Structures are given as structure tokens and as C-alpha cells.
Structure 1
């Protein structure tokens, strides 16, 4: 999605940056993992196909993607975005009859970064962005039934289980953003700083020069 191609969302533990060709190689390495393929219901792609996928995601109006960086690692000297990548977060706007519905997906690919609150913060930041910038008022998550940790995380941030897809063995969770939930979500993400992507990279270069 082009709307976020120059947007950075900086939180306490994570920084969300747009998915660019510079991130593809690391992302491709992640997706060779059978565990991640299973958790994300994905098929392995060649590196060339991964670059094509990145470009299509950038152009498509129905998919908003950010790469999740470790904020503490990014603050260190001489670290690149590729060094700091821990996962990605996505919003799918695929219901043509309801443009206010977004399906959210979070992946913390680096095992050492799981259980540290990265997924929760990245998800909340993405939801706030979807609400304020894309006009979304309902969020849906489809999670494999065996992924108890992810299901538990979504329930902690006010999602409710509304069904189970037995064919795909997925739990379907949903959050409707009424005024109370809107205020709660804004409070949870009040610390987030929205920046220009090119400016952030320039600042990093200046600090290290």
C-alpha cells in the first residue's frame, strides 16, 4: 500500500517501517522455516518471487505492511534495518462490501524476540494506524488453533473469539472499535511517534558519522 511507503511508527520496544527491497533477503530467510510456513499458512518462495511479492504488496491498495524492528537494537551504533528486523505486521482490506473491516496479522519471526511484548505493541500500533489513517472500525484475526500464545495475546487486547474455521483449523477473533475501544486504543499508543522514513534514515546516518 502506497499510503505508508514513507511512514515510520516508533514505539517503546518496536519500530514499524515500510517493507522495502532492502528487507526482502532477511524476510526470505525467515520464510524458509517450516515452523513459520505452518504458522502463517505460507508456501516457500524463491528469492526472486519474494522480491516480486514485496513490490506487489507495495502497489496493492488492499494490503498495508510494516516490518517490525527491535527499537533497542536500532538505537545502537552501526546497525542496519536488516540487522534489527524481528517480524512483520499486516492489514488486509479484502472485503469490498465493508471497507471498514481489516484483517490483521502479526509475525514475530525471531524466536529470541518472542514473549517480550513486541507482538502486542506492534499489533496495537498497527490497529491505531488502521483506525486513524485507513478508517477501520472492525479488526479480525485468523489464527491457527494450536497457536495458543497468539490467541491469548489477541484476547488480552480486547479481541473476542467469534468462530472457528474447521477446514483451516483457525480461530476467528474480532474487535469492534466503539468509542470506548477507540479511546482505549489511542491511550495504548499515545507514546507512538510518527516519522518520515527518509528523515529517520538520515538521522541515523548523521548520528553514526
Structure 2
């Protein structure tokens, strides 16, 4: 999405920055890990394909992505601008967090739309968002970081729901009738107790049975509750590429 291309989110536990091409080599190295491939149900890509994927996600109107980094040493209003390539350098990158938007399908309204009444119907008045998070390094897991990241991310989603759905609608040629965000969901492997506990602690509840792929669907329907619990130190800052570009140009001139 373009919505967050110049926005960083800072809390006392993490810094979230827009996914840029500078992050691709580290991200690509993460995704070469077979364990991460299995956990994210991902196929390995070449580095060139990863760069293409990053550019595609930035332009896409139905994917909101942040790279998770270690927290700022002086978070909040004391640091109104985040210089690209500094606090989000490869050594400080931790993982990523995403929101994928889909048309909302109402199974009840689908009855009668086909011969069997078994297929849900797409409801253009609404869309749904699927949340997923990856903490790449084992040294960062099991410390409550995942919950802190998702909580900060959902706070951003709550504050920018209108902008998120407006950009989504532009891609679907629906600008005259922007859909509402009906619910958020997370699909998690039934054996991943830590992730299940994370989303349940944030108000997500299981709906339906475990699916064919062994996944549990956790859903949050009361989206108004997202804005109620503001993460400690939450601040939306400017993500500036200008200083990074000037530094790169200066380095090239010296060479």
C-alpha cells in the first residue's frame, strides 16, 4: 500500500517501518530458512524475485506491510523523523507484520445464489483483513515481542481504517462506494500454541473448525476495541529517505 510509505510506528517495544528495497537482502536471507518457509507456507524466491515482490507489495492496494525493527533508543516525539537506513539497518531488523484485504463473503447471504446454496456470496459493502506476523530470529521470540508488534500494528489499522479501505476500493474501482472493514482474522496452524495465545489475548476468537490445512481461524469482529488500548509509547513518525539518499550520493562522490 501507498498509505504507509512515509510512516513509521514507534512503541517502547518495537519500531515498524515501511517495507523498502533496502530491506530485501535481509528479508530474502530470512526466507531461505526452511523453518520460516514452512511456518509461513512460502516458496523460496531468488533475490531478483524478492525485489520484484517488494515493489509489487508497495504498489498493491490490498497489502499493508511493515518491517519490524528493534525499538528506538529515544522513542516518541523526541524523534519525529526516522532516517531510512539507520534505525532500520539490517542488524536491527527483526521480522514483518502484514494486513491482507479480501472481499467479505457472507455464507448466509450465499444461500439461494446457486443450485446447492453451498457457496458464500461476495458482499461489496465490506472487506476483511487477514493479519500475519513473522519474528525471524529465534533470539527475539518468546519475549512478548510478537504481541507488542501486533498490538501496535492494530492500533495503526484502527486509526487509519478509512484510508486503508479507501485505497483498497481504488484498486477495485469502487471509489464511489468504499467498503467497510467487517472483521480481522488470523489463520494459524493448530499446533502453534504461542501464536494462538497471542491473538486470543488481543480479543480474537476461534470461528469454525480446523480447516483442511490444519489451520485455526481466529476472528475479531469488534473493531472499535482496537483503539481502546494504546501501546506504551505509541507514536506515528515520518519515515524519511532523504537523509539516506544524500548519504549514498555523498559516498558515491567520494568513490
TM bucket (normalised to shorter chain) is: 0.7 to 0.9
1:123 aligns with 2:113: no
What are the residue-to-residue correspondences of 1:28-177 with 2, within 5 Å?
28-71=28-71, 81-95=89-103, 97=124, 99-135=126-162, 136=181, 138-177=183-222
Deviation (angstroms), 1:12: 0.7
Q: Distance between the aligned counterparts of 2:148 and 2:242, measured in 1?
A: 20
What are the superposed Cα offsets for residues 110-149 of structure 1, whole Å, 9 maximum, x if unpaired? 1100112211111111112112212445210001112111
Which residues of structure 1 form unaligned runs of 5+?
Answer: none
Q: 1:98 to 1:27 in 2, by over 3 A?
A: farther
Q: Distance between the aligned counterparts of 1:176 and 1:189, measured in 2?
A: 20
1:193 aligns with 2:235: yes
Q: Distance between the aligned counterparts of 2:74 and 2:232, measured in 1?
A: 21
Q: Distance between the aligned counterparts of 1:63 and 1:162, measured in 2?
A: 23
1:71 counterpart SS class: coil
Q: 1:53 to 1:99 in 2, by over 3 A?
A: farther
Q: Distance between the aligned counterparts of 2:241 and 2:56, measured in 1?
A: 25
Q: 1:166 to 1:69 in 2, by over 3 A?
A: same
Which residues of structure 2 form unaligned runs of 5+?
Answer: 76-85, 105-123, 163-180, 248-255
Q: Distance between the aligned counterparts of 2:5 and 2:97, measured in 1?
A: 14
User: What is the aligned length?
Assistant: 198
CA contact under 8 A between 1:74 and 1:81: conserved in structure 2?
no
CA contact under 8 A between 1:73 and 1:79: conserved in structure 2?
no
TM-score (norm 1): 0.86
Indicate the residue corresponding to 1:14 in structure 2: 14
1:95 counterpart SS class: strand
Deviation (angstroms), 1:187: 2.3
* Bigger radius of gyration among the two: 2
Q: 1:56 to 1:155 in 2, by over 3 A?
A: same
TM-score (norm 2): 0.71
CA contact under 8 A between 1:7 and 1:17: conserved in structure 2?
yes
Higher helix proportion = 1
